[in-house]
């Protein structure tokens, strides 16, 4: 179980591979891996966006995400979890969040990954400010639910 809040751009696939190599004890047990990557788009609500700043509440972010991961491990049979979330300045196409779940069976991996993402979106204290192409700025006001297609 690893949780990282980082200020630099990251490659989710490198991070996953590095994590897997660092955990050879999981080999042979993993039957299912579910991975979610949230990436910055260059368009939001019909407006071109050239970047964003992600503010967070240091300490509370880690506490809330820790709680979420503990809840997921209590509800599903999970072998391992990796969460990485960017803060600071983010450019289009850059990953914002990575959630990777390793388990024996696919039901657990899918359910836990989605649960963690929804909980993160509603509880982890991050706030996005978008920098628009016309040089305006705007705060994103709320996250929509991921259980219904927007």
Partner 1 sequence: MSIKVRYFASLKESIGRSEDTLSFTPLLTVSDVWKLANPTIALSENILVAVNMDYVNYDFIVSDDDIVAFFPPVTGG
Q: Note the residues at the interface with partner 1 (CB under 8 A).
A: 38, 54-57, 59-60, 63-64, 85, 96-97, 106, 117, 120-129, 139-143
Instruction: Give whichever of 30 and 87 is closer to a second copy, judged by the CB atom.
Output: 30
Is residue 16 a contact point for a second copy (CB under 8 A)? yes
Q: Which does 147 bind (CB under 5 to 8 A by kind): partner 1, a second copy, none?
A: a second copy
The H-or-E segment that residue 121 falls in is helix 106-123
Q: Are strands 32-39 and 137-139 parallel, antiparallel or unpaired?
A: unpaired
- Containing 81, the helix (H) or strand (E) segment is strand 80-86
> Nearest approach, Cβ of 137 to partner 1 (angstroms)?
10
Q: How far is the CB of 17 from a second copy (least distance, A)?
A: 6
Report the residue number, 49 or 54, with the smaller CB distance to partner 1: 54
Residue with tokens 């368009």: 43
Instruction: Work out the burial of residue 71: count CB atoms within 10 Å of its CB; fewer than 13 is exposed, 13-18 middle, 19 or more buried.
Output: middle
Q: Can you tell me the distance from the alpha carbon of 86 to that of 56, in angstroms, rounded to the nearest whole number?
A: 10
Query: Binding a second copy by CB under 8 A: which of 37, 87, 119, 132?
Result: 37
State which H helix or E strand residue 63 sits in. helix 60-75
Would you tell me which residues interact with a second copy (CB under 8 A)?
13, 16-17, 27-43, 76-77, 92-93, 104-111, 113-114, 117, 144-150
């Amino acid at each position: 179980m690893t949780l990282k809040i980082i200020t630099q751009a990251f490659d989710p696939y490198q991070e996953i591979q590095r994590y897997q190599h660092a955990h050879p004890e999981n080999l042979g047990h993993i039957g299912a891996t579910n991975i979610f990557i949230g990436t910055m788009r260059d368009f939001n609500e019909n407006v071109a966006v050239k970047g964003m700043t992600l503010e967070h509440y240091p300490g509370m972010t880690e506490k809330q995400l820790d709680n979420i991961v503990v809840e997921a491990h209590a509800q599903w049979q999970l072998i391992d979890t990796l969460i990485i979330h960017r803060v600071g300045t983010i450019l289009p196409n850059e990953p914002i969040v990575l959630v990777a779940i390793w388990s024996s069976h696919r039901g657990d991996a899918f359910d836990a990954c989605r649960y963690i993402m929804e909980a993160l979106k509603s509880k982890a204290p991050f706030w996005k400010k978008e920098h628009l192409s016309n040089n305006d700025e705007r705060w994103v006001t709320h996250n929509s639910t991921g259980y219904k297609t927007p």
